[in-house]
Amino acid sequence: MLTPMRAIVVGGGCVGAGILYGLAKRGWSDVALLERTQLTAGSTWHAAGLIPSYARSLSVGRMITKSIEIYEGLEAETGQKVGWHKCGQLRIANTRDRLDEYRSYMDVAEVQGVRASIVSPSEAREIWPLLDNNGMLGALYHPDDGHIAPADVTQAMAKGARDLGAKIHLGTEVTGFERMPGGEWKVRSSRGDFVCEHVILATGNYARQTGAMLGLDIPAIPIVHQYWITEAVPEIVERKRLGLPEMPILRDEGYEGYLREEGDGLMFGPYERTEQLKLFAENGVPEWFGADLLDEDFDAVSWNWEQATQLVPALGRAGIKRNVRGPFQMTADELPLMGPAWGLDNVWLAEGVPGGILWGGAIGYYLSERIVEGGNSIDTAELDPRRFGDHANKNWTREKVREAWGTHAAQHFPGQDMPAARPQKTAPSYDRLTELGAVWDVLNGWEMPSWFAPAGVEARNVYSWRWTAKGNYVGEEVQAVRQAVGLVEMTPMTKFELRGPGAELWLDGILANRLPRPGGVTLAHHLTPAGGVQAEYVVARLGMDLFYLISTPRAERWNFDDLSRRLPKDGSVHLSNVTNDRGCFTVVGPRARELLQPLTEVDLSNEAFPRFSARSGTVGLASDVRIMRVNYSGELGWELYHPLCYQRHLLDALLASGEAHGLRLVGLQALESLRLDKSYRAMYRDMNPELSAWESGLDRFVRLDKGDFLGRAALVAKQKQGGTHRIATLLIDTDGASAFAYEGIYRDGKLVGRVTSAGYSYTLGRDIALALLPLELGVPGIELEVSILGERRPAKVVPDSPYDPEAERGRM
C-alpha cells in the first residue's frame, strides 16, 4: 500500500518550484513535484525574466513585492545564483491619459510599500540616454524592479525545497487522478502511482489538458510572444567600460513593448495586437512540443520595430543575434488562477499564470500559506480561480485571451469593460433597455446597465481618469431615486435556494447574523475561520425550511462552491443555484409604493409589509414574484425576483406605471454613488477575507450571543485583544477627478490609511470614501488628505451614512 504524502505539485516550471519551496518552508517536507521532462522545460526557460512591480491593485502589488523579496533572499539561502539584476524600470508617458494613469498609480504606490516616482522628460533622458523621444510628457520610474534568470531562479527554489526534504521526480508524466475512499488522491504517472492529501496543478501550457483529467474547464489558453536579442551595441559597451549602471527596463507606449540590456546588446519584446496575436495549443499541447521554440514572426510586430528604432536609434543600428518565440499561459484578466479548484476537495490550481517568473515566488508563498495555514494573510480574492463562472468556456476564453494580451500595452481606464465575447448572457430586458439608452457593463458574463443615455445622447462610454459628461446623466439617475423613483435591472445577482429539515440549523452555523423568521429578510455574512468576510448574503426566509440567498454576481461559482463543501453528508440540506431562473428589478425611491401598488394585490403599506420582509404574489401578469422590501440605496423600495419568462411583460408594466411618477431607469454607476451615501460596504472592497468583520465595521450584523458560527471564536479573540484599524467614512473635496480604490490617506504628510472604495456623491456634491484608518483617526471631525491624481485633497472623517443617518427614508 502506498503511504500518502501531504501534497504533490504537478509541473516543474518556476511556479511549480515556487509552490514546492513554499510548502517546504512551512514545514511540509513530505511533498513531491512531478515533472514530465525537466525543470523549466515549458515556458520558464525561454521567458524574458522581467519583474515589474507596476500594478494599481493593492493585493497584486503586494504579491509582486513578495516575489522580489523571496528572489533576493534565495542566493544567500541556497548558495545558488539567480541572476537578479535590480536595474529598475522606466515607463514613458506620451499622452495626458497615460500620465494620469501613472499619477493614479502613485496614489497607491506608497500604500503597497513600493518605491516609485514620476520623473520629468529631461530626467527620463538622463536615466535612459539612448532614448530619443521628444514628445514625452513624463515617465514613471521604479528603482527596485529588474530582471532575473528564469532557469536559475527556478533551480534555486527547487534546491531550497530539496534541502528541506521535498522530493522532485523528473521524467514523470501525470496521466490521471483518482479520488480514493479515504479522501486521498491517487496520482497516476508514467513512473507509477503516488498518493497524497493535496494535489496542486501548476502545469502551464498543459493547464486545459490537466484540468480535463479532473473534469475542470480551466479558463486559460496559451498565447505566443516573442523577443529579439541584438548583437553588441556600441553605446552599451561604452557604458560598461565607464562602469555605469545597467539602464532600467524601458517601456514606451509609442512602440508597445519592453527594451532592456542583455549582455552587451539589447532585448526587445514587442507586444502583438489582437489582430496579429497567435494562440497556442487550444486543443492540447502537441506531442512533439517540449523545450521548443516556434518560428519567428516579424510581420506580426513590424510596426513596433519601426517605432522602436525611431525612439531608440541604437536599436536600429544593431545586428540581430536571435529571436525567441514561444507560448505562455494567459487568462481573460491577465491574472493567475490561484486557489481551490471548484467542486473538488484538496485540489488547488496555480494555472493560467501570465508571467511565471514574476509570479512564481508569490504564488509559492501565498498558495502554500492557504493550504498549510487554512487562509491567507492578505486578500488574494482577485486571483481565486472561482472568480470565473461557467460562462468562461473555451470559446469565451479564446476571445477574451486574444483581447487581453492584444491590448496589454494599450491605454486602460478604471471601470473599462472590453467588448470581446459580448453580449454573452442577457436577460429578456436587454433589447428593450438598449432601445431606452442603456450603456452596458458586464458582470460574471451578464450584461448589466451601467448608465442610461437620454434621448439625443450617444449611448457609449467615454473613458478617462477624470470626470466626463457622463456624470451629468448619472447624477440625474441618482436624483430620481432620491426625489421620485428609479428602476434598476438587477438580474445578474447570484441566487441560491436552500431547503431541507436541516437547513435552519446548518445555515445558522455558517452566518454571523441571526436568521430571519419566516417572511423576513436580513443581511448576513459568511466569515472565514479567522473572522474575515468570505461572502455577504441577503437572506430571505420563504418558509420554515426554505431560504433564498442573494449575493454579488461575481461570487456565483465561488459562493456555491464554498457552501457546497460544508453541506452535511446526511442529505438534510439541499443547495440549488437558481441564478438563471429568476430576474430582478428594484423599484426604489420615495414614490416606489405609488408606482408598484396598482400592479399588485399584495398590500405594500408599512403595516402589512414592513422593511426587511418578503412576500410572494402577482405583479401585473407575472405570477410567483418574490417581493422583498430591501434595496442598496437607502430609500423606500422593493426588489422583485420574478421568473424570467415574465420579465419583458413586467418591465413594460413597470415603465407604464412609472410614467406618472417621474420614473428613471438607473444603472450601476448611480447605484454605486447611492450606496456610498449610506456607507454601505461593498464585497471584495470594504469587506474581504483579509479584514475582520470588526475592521469592516459590521458590528450590527454580528451576533456573538446567538450561538456558535464560523469565525466566531476568532472574532471573540480579536474583540478581547482590541483592534487597531477600522473602516470609517470620509468626505473629500475634489475637483475634476475622483478617488475610487486604494488611494493613500495622509495626515501631516505621513501615510496613515487607505481608501477601500470611493466615488462622487451626486447627493452631497463631493467625493465620499470608505477608508481603513487607525482607530484614533477614524473619529468624526478628524481632518486628513487623500491623494487623487498626485494631488493631496482635503478630507474629513464624518459619521457613517452621511445621507439620512437615521434611515428614516427607508421606513416611509
Tens digits of residue pLDDT in 515-567: 999 999 999 999 999 999 999 999 999 999 999 999 999 999 999 999 999 99
The pLDDT value given to residue 44: 83
Provide φ and ψ at 256, rounded to 5°: 50, 70
Percent of the chain with pLDDT over 70: 100
Number of Cβ within 10 Å of residue 99's Cβ equals: 21
**Residue 683 Cα distances to 389, 532, 657, angstroms:** 17, 11, 33
Provide φ and ψ at 306, rounded to 5°: -60, -45
The pLDDT value given to residue 256: 96
> 738-780, pLDDT tens digit by residue?
999 999 999 999 999 999 999 999 999 999 999 999 999 999 9
Distance CA 668, CA 666 (A): 7
> Quick one: which of 118, 113, 106, 119 has its CA closest to 56?
106
The pLDDT value given to residue 1: 55
Helix (H, G, I), strand (E, B) or coil at 772: strand
The pLDDT value given to residue 149: 95
Confirm if 46 and 52 have CB atoms less than 8 A apart.
no
- For the chain, report the end-to-end CA distance as a whole number of angstroms: 70
> How are the residues of the chain apportioned to helix, strand and coil, as percentages rounded to the nearest 5?
30, 30, 40
Question: What mean pLDDT do residues 72-101 have?
Answer: 97
Q: How confident is the model at residue 783 (pLDDT cuts 50, 70, 90)?
A: very high
Q: How confident is the model at residue 2 (pLDDT cuts 50, 70, 90)?
A: confident
Phi-psi region of 450 (alpha: psi -120 to 50; beta: other; left: phi over 0): alpha
Strand order in the sheet with 521-527: 521-527, 533-543, 546-551, 494-499, 574-577
Question: What mean pLDDT do residues 253-270 have?
Answer: 97
**What angle separates helix 150-163 from helix 58-78, to the nearest 10 degrees?**
70
Q: Are strands 185-189 and 174-179 parallel, antiparallel or unpaired?
A: antiparallel
Strand order in the sheet with 89-93: 117-119, 138-142, 89-93, 249-252, 257-262, 265-270, 223-230, 320-328
Write out the E strands in 533-672.
533-543, 546-551, 574-577, 582-588, 614-619, 622-628, 637-643, 663-666
Confirm if 497 and 537 have CB atoms less than 8 A apart.
no
HSE-CB at 518 with a 13 A cutoff on CA atoms is 7
Distance CA 121, CA 131 (A): 11
Percent of the chain with pLDDT over 90: 97
> 124-180, pLDDT tens digit by residue?
999 999 999 999 999 999 999 999 999 999 999 999 999 999 999 999 999 999 999
Residue for grid cell 488547488: 348
Q: How confident is the model at residue 45 (pLDDT cuts 50, 70, 90)?
A: confident
**Peptide bond between residue 516 and the one before it cis (omega within 30 degrees of 0):** no
Distance CA 645, CA 81 (A): 64
> Quick one: which of 17, 13, 115, 16 has its CA closest to 74?
17
Distance CA 18, CA 151 (A): 12
Q: How confident is the model at residue 290 (pLDDT cuts 50, 70, 90)?
A: confident
**Predicted confidence (pLDDT) at residue 628 exceeds the cutoff of 90:** yes
* pTM across the whole model: 0.97
> 217-230, pLDDT tens digit by residue?
999 999 999 999 99
Provide φ and ψ at 611, rounded to 5°: -55, 150
**Predicted confidence (pLDDT) at residue 114 exceeds the cutoff of 80:** yes
| Interior angle at CA 117, CA 112 and CA 118, nearest 5 | 130
What amino acid occupies position 354? P
The pLDDT value given to residue 534: 98
Helix (H, G, I), strand (E, B) or coil at 738: coil
The pLDDT value given to residue 782: 98
- What DSSP designation does 190 have? T
Summary mean pLDDT of the chain: 97
Q: How confident is the model at residue 588 (pLDDT cuts 50, 70, 90)?
A: very high
